[in-house]
Chain A
Amino acid sequence: MTSTETRTMSLTLRIWRQRDRTKKGKMVTYHVTDVSPDMSFLEMLDVLNEKLILDGDDPVAFDHDCREGICGSCGLMINGIAHGPEQTTVCQLHMRSFSDGDVLDIEPWRAGGFPVVKDLAVDRSAFDRIISAGGFISAPTGTAPEAHSTPVPKKNSDAAFDAATCIGCGACVAACPNGSAMLFTAAKVSHLGLMPQGQPERDSRVLKMVAQQDAEDFGGCSNIGECSAVCPKGISMETISRLNHDLLGALRAGGVPTS
């Protein structure tokens, strides 16, 4: 048995520091010691920030909330991979995925639609605007209905649920060589479009949401698949095919891509 003392790690971090939206940022090097392999990546950053605060320096700003992998607040590029080397969120990424002496480059999501607010925190309200363009149903739902009153094929409910696991973290945009938000948009279009409650707005939803994703300075999808490979929820590229199918169907039905 090795004691916990001998298993702690020392790391060199190169972190993107940027005062605000308008200032230019740069990579700054920090050293952290006594990192336990059982810490999450965010806890390791907390240790760094405590040290920075005690030294009278400005702590590194990063977004986080639930730290359970379900809220979608956290998200960092670690050595060039969104959410780091494991396919999960950075709050659920543990330091045992790294080795003593590693040098880690930590950057914010970089996208025209995600301006940097400070350091590693980016403004993801573009996602909210894509949702408000069409990611909802207008049917009054009231209380939960009797489950058998509207039968949904198992295949559809499973696919809708898989799409609905999207937490809107933005890793798909961060990883995409085109800076496209198509996986996010497709997940939202899929999860509503596969359910009976989502049918009335199915055509207008896809037209408005795609138009908004384009307007928010996100890129177009070139079917490379980097998004799905880093998605903490493993949302499939199949959802993008479904979005394309729905959009072309809506245009054939005479829809106009407006908002």
Chain B
Amino acid sequence: MLTLNDVTFQYAEGRGIRGASLRVAPGEVVGVVGPNGAGKSTLLGLAAAALLPQQGMVALAMADLSGRTRKYRSDAGVGYRRHVGYLTELAPAYGEMRVEAYLRFRAKLRGERFLRIRRRVLEAMERCGLLGQRRAVIGRLSLGLRRRVALAEALLTLPSVLVLDDPFAGIDAGMRAEFAAMIKDVAARAHVLISGHDPQLLTACCNRFALVERGRLTADRLDAATALARLLPPAEGGGKEA
């Protein structure tokens, strides 16, 4: 079970997330939705252990990430991050590297065993439709293909925590369905968190939705229709129905 308990992370300018609690079971795919700047990426950063909570607790199984000492946080963090696949909203990759070389580099950094690296890289490239681009320089790929590279990187080590920040941005409709199917496939044995602005785009792969508004996690067990209704501005006359 992936547990975020009362986590707070605020930036210097005051934005961020406050007092968020969320539990994700293995095999569950949770869509985190909300307006721009609500704190979705921060929440996902905390789940991926890219950020450390200023208050509260992030834990996978029984291993808690937040500790009092720097050494504890460092050791626990390294252990936790071995299980994490993370696609950030910018989907960064080293532009001067070739696709296969980049994935091999990332697999080594993520602690994959030497003899398994080649197989894992090939699997990830096959899943994301990148086998034809294995020798391509990443900087020369289209935005959609670069997002595929970043997604392949997130899936490299078959992570048990998969955190995808806006994975469908810049992806065409056909590929979106393939991505959703792939995420569902991976989710069979992983805790998955996906963020986005439109719940309808995420319905193909999400079991439930969590709503983030103005730095607060206001609901975490919504269906797509309810999440969409909560996201849309109230109709004229004060009604809340979409």
A, B from the same assembly: no
Taking Cβ atoms with an 8 Å cutoff, the residues of B that contact A are: none
User: Interface on A for B, CB 8 Å cutoff?
Assistant: none
